Structure 1
Amino acid sequence: MSSKIISSVIAGSGSFIPENIIDNSAFLGHTFLDASGQEMDSPNETIIRKFHQITGIRERRYADDNMVASDLGFGAAKNALQNADVDPETLDYIIVAHNFGDVKLNSRRVDMMPPLASRIKHRLQIANPYCVAYDLPFGCPGWLQGVIQAHYYLQSGDAKRVLVIGTETLSRVTDPHDRDSMIYSDGAGAVVLEARETEAKVGVLSHLTVSDTIVQAQWLHSSPSYNQDLDQTDLYIKMDGRKIYEYAITRVPQLVKDCITKAELTLTDIKKVLIHQANEKMDEAMLDRLFKLYGMGAKDIPSDIMPMTINTLGNNSVATLPILYDLIERGQLGEHSLEPNYDVVFTSVGAGMNANAVVYRVPS
């Protein structure tokens, strides 16, 4: 009689996507400045057209005026718990990934106490004191790092069930005078992971994380507006796009390859590559570089291996991966599906600079 294996599997997922659609044309009236505070030379029509060509973003979602990140996270959590069909009181941990806490409309004040995880646990009305709720600020890879932490808990026997949420309202922390502000959006996604006895290993097969900080730490940071007439004590999200791009297309493909090797698989075993939705061209370049690491070219890349949401949802940081997964799981992303025994890669890169990857086998 074969012994059972404890696998860390996703029991259910959920998302909360705001209804407010912000088209690229909404930025036509903005005054875009460079880092020195000088107005950009090109007209806004040209700036926006080039932005769309590079990022693939044509629209994004913003939260309702009266909502904050914990509200979005609560909505995603409710959906995930319902889809998993589990009693919230049976959760051992609630891990909430975010980067700016609850930022109210027209405010630059970060509100992170009590932790968003505590706020969401309160909204869920979970009385169990041994359901531990905590936050995880780790840049855009925060949600996936939460999945990795949940996996450790489940494998150690310390937990049977963990709720991992990624939620963000980046529209509240973007400088309207920075053209990069068009990248960011709002949203939340969540999954319930549980320890499950299986005949063969499924769920999380392997994971890897890196943090590079020697010269990379400030490539994504918070700084004042480019508009010197605005309060220079207010901070907005800023980035060195070129350096981040170069870092992503070199660090992430190798990280993914190493993670696949750690799972004792090869690239041809992978059915889906779910990449943090940061920039369409960057994601395509990372996928292309990954295939080159295996000695393959563009003609070898399956047309359906990398589902995308960035075109219509923008970059909502920690929420992009769980939203992407949830949309596929619920059959709401075209022909994409996650069939039993599919081997899937999750990967993300962001502030820190941090990057991570998980190889996941869909349970039957």
Structure 2
Amino acid sequence: MLKRRFARMQEKRVSAVITGSGRYIPERVVSNDDFLGAEFYSESGVPIQKETAEVVKTLQKITGIKERRYLADDQVTSDMGYLAAEAALADAGIDRESLDYVIVAHNFGDIRKDNIRVDMCPTLAARIKHTLGIENPYTVAYDLPFGCPGWVQGIIQADYFIKSGDAKAVLVIGAETLSRISDPHDVDSMIFSDGAGAVVLEARTTEQPSGILKHLTRSDTLHHAHLLEMQVSYRPDFGSDALFLKMKGRKLYEYAVKTVPQALKECLDRSGLGLSQIKKVFIHQANEKMDQNILDRLFQLYGDQAPPEGLMPMSISFLGNNSVATIPVLYDLVAKGELGDHRLSAGDYLMFASVGAGMNTNVFIYRIPLD
């Protein structure tokens, strides 16, 4: 009897488990029709000759975006991060003073409506911890600028902290304001949006493998570092040297559909799971067509014809691309049964993946605990 009990205790392991999630979606809805009066220019500074309505229609067809959300004029990124954090803490039912880390993924800091210069001092994590009213000096708060994959990387770091015994509870936030660093004369400005999402990860001892099972990250900087970068407006007489986010769209698309499926397969193979065991794929909401292509190519790598319907939840059609916030917001919507027919159950295997500036690609495999 004692031997069996000891063996059972030996089988238990510490897992990094999501115990709560939350989001903040700005109230201001910006539809594609709101861009019909825009004047778009090419990268070379020449006005685009196509009718704006045709440009807007084409972008919607490619990206799947019909509308997006912009934060209020008196809000900044850390405000959204705080609101998402409060929701996640309430959902987890955890004492905020017990948090060991607050990790905030973002890329541009607190950009004000009337001044789009980057503001990252103090860090957004410090600002959010302050607003949360956390007194514990050993709740370590830091920022993680890692492109769109920042929130996924924050989860991976939290897993390291928990598995090493350095932490029992970590709050990981993804918050971004892309609307204020988008060139109004660049077609790509219609892609970007604002928002925030957060989760609480806690150490749990489980008999079955649960929580974060495997993860993988790669940084392809030698040839792809500048596929996203900051440049002045495409309009030559814009009247300001302000820097805006710019994408080399075609090359970025080619990188993503070539690199991400292979990364997903490698991580999945390391986990020892089969593709058919994955119940949901939460992927960065950058481009509907690109995401579908990534999933299709993943299935092709396994010799399968096509992914099953409902495997990949999507929010890009009504939320746009809000960078590090897309995956935690998407997860929160599904976890709470607020995105169509998508539901999660105990024991489900999930895949989370992102790709973005760097170029960085990352993925982790997660199992919802049974106990």
Instruction: Give the TM-score normalised by structure 2.
Output: 0.97
**Shift of residue 252 of structure 1?**
0.4
CA distance in 1, matches of 2:167, 2:106: 22
Of 263, 276, 280, the residue aligned with 1:268 is 276
Partner of 1:75: 83
**Aligned residue number for residue 234 of structure 2:** 226
Q: 1:356 aligns with which of 342, 362, 367?
A: 362
Match of 1:48 in 2: 56
Q: Which has the higher mean CA deviation after the structures are superposed, 222-231 or 155-164?
A: 222-231
Deviation at 1:230, TM superposition (A): 2.1
What residue number does 2:312 align with? 306
- CA shift, 1:338, in A, is 1.3
Task: Encode CA deviations 1:94-143: one digit per residue, 9 max, x unaligned.
Answer: 00000000000132200000000000000000000000000000000000
SS at the partner of 2:41?
coil
2:262 pairs with 1:254: yes
Asked if the contact 1:107–1:172 (Cα under 8 Å) also holds between the matched residues in 2, the reply is no
How many equivalent residue pairs? 362
Distance in 2 (CA, whole Å) between partners of 1:96 and 1:134 is 6
Q: Which residue in the other structure is 1:94 paired with? A: 102
- Whichever residue aligns with residue 312 of structure 1, its letter is F
Q: Deviations 1:261-302 (Å, cap 9, x if unpaired)?
A: 11111101111111100000000000000000000112xx11
How many Å separate the matches in 2 of 1:100 and 1:106?
15
1:334 and 2:328 equivalent?
no
Mapped to 2, the partners of 1:39 and 1:124 lie a distance apart of 47
Identity %, equivalent residues: 57
Rounded to whole Å, the distance in 2 between the matches of 1:284 and 1:130 is: 42
Please tell me the residue identity of whatever aligns with 2:357. A
- Of 342, 345, 350, which residue of structure 2 is paired with 1:344? 350
The alignment status of 1:315 with 2:324, answered yes or no, reads no
* Contact preservation (8 Å) 1:91, 1:160: yes
Distance, in Å, in 2 between the alignment partners of 1:192 and 1:131 is 13
Residue 10 in 1 paired to residue 23 in 2?
A: no
Match in the other structure for 1:212: 220
State the alpha-carbon separation in 2 of the partners of residues 306 and 200 from structure 1: 25
Letter in 1 for 2:309: S
CA distance in 1, matches of 2:240, 2:229: 15
- What SS does the aligned partner of 2:224 have? coil
Aligned residue for 2:20, secondary structure, equals strand
Deviations 1:148-187 (A, max 9, x none): 0000000000000000000001001000000000000000
Q: How does 1:162-181 map to 2 (within 5 A)?
A: 162-181=170-189
Q: CA deviation at 1:233?
A: 2.4
Answering whether residue 162 of structure 2 is matched by residue 150 of structure 1, we say no
Separation (CA, whole Å) in 1 of partners of 2:125 and 2:116: 21
Letter in 2 for 1:294: Y
What is aligned with 1:325? 331
Decide which of 42, 45, 57 is 2:65's aligned counterpart: 57
Q: Report the CA distance between 1:232 and its aligned residue.
A: 4.7
Return the alpha-carbon distance in structure 1 between the equivalents of residues 190 and 263 of structure 2.
28
- Residue 285 of structure 2 is aligned to residue 283 of structure 1: no
Distance between the aligned counterparts of 2:36 and 2:115, measured in 1?
23
| 1:228 Cα deviation after fit | 1.6
SS state of the match for residue 327, structure 1? helix
Aligned to 1:188: 196
CA distance in 2, matches of 1:65, 1:192: 29
The residue matched to 2:156 in structure 1 has which SS?
helix
**Residues in 2 aligned to 1:269 and 1:331: alpha-carbon distance in whole angstroms:** 21
Task: Quote the offset at 1:36 in angstroms.
Answer: 1.3
Native 8 Å contact 1:9 1:195 kept in 2 = yes
Give unmatched runs, 5+ long, in structure 1.
none
- The CA deviation string for residues 8-41 of structure 1, in whole angstroms up to 9 with x for no partner, is 1001000000011000000001100001111101
1:10–1:192: 8 Å Cα contact kept in structure 2? Answer: yes
Q: Which runs of 5+ in 2 are unaligned?
A: none
Q: Residue 39 of structure 1 aligns to a residue in which SS?
A: coil
